[in-house]
Every structure is written in C-alpha cells, then in structure tokens.
C-alpha cells in the first residue's frame, strides 16, 4: 500500500504521450483527463520500498480566490 510518506526512488521516465496511450480504461479516466490537460511531458517511474513500481501522473489542485477566480496547479506527487 502506498500512502503519504511512502519512500521511493525514481528509476526512469515515461513520455506523456506514451502514458496517455496506456491509460485507456474507464477506471483511469480522471487521471487521463488531468494528464491530458497538464503541460508535464515526462512522467517519473518510481520504485517504492515495498518493491512496487508506479508511474506518478500529475494531480490537479484548485482553489477559489475571493473576487478573483479560480487558481489551478498541476503537481507530480
């Protein structure tokens, strides 16, 4: 199981377009849409202490700013 504080090492990179081609299932639709909207071109492949390898796709964070609008950022966890 991976949780906040999980430790791992970047073992490689995957191009954004390659990852988008892999993400064709309905269960990954939300992550697919976020990756498609982001400007991140390389996805880190991380090997965690438990031996699991994981492609770290970006997450989207947004917040409303009073009388200004919405602020959004994309971040690779």
What is the structure's pLDDT at 18? 92
Domain boundaries, the chain: 8-75
pLDDT tens digits, one per residue of 12-52: 999 999 999 888 766 678 888 889 888 899 999 999 998 99
> What gap in Å lies between CA 52 and CA 16, rounded to an integer?
21
What is the structure's pLDDT at 6? 85
Burial label, 14 (beta-carbon count in 10 A; 0-12, 13-18, 19+):
middle
Per DSSP, what are the bridge partners of residue 9?
47
**Cα–Cα nearest to 33, from 2, 64, 57, 3:** 57
* Averaged pLDDT for residues 59-64: 90
Q: Under the phi-then-psi rule, with left for phi > 0, alpha for psi from -120 to 50, and beta for the rest, what region is 18? A: alpha
* Averaged pLDDT for residues 60-65: 91
What is the structure's pLDDT at 3? 77
pTM listed for this prediction: 0.76
């Amino acid at each position: 199981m991976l949780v906040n504080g999980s430790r791992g090492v970047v073992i490689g990179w995957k191009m954004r377009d390659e990852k988008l081609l892999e993400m064709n299932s309905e269960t990954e639709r939300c992550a697919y849409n976020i990756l498609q909207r982001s400007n991140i071109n390389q996805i880190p492949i991380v090997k965690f202490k438990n031996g699991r390898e994981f492609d770290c796709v970006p997450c989207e964070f947004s917040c409303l700013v009073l009388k200004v609008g919405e602020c959004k950022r994309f971040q690779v966890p």
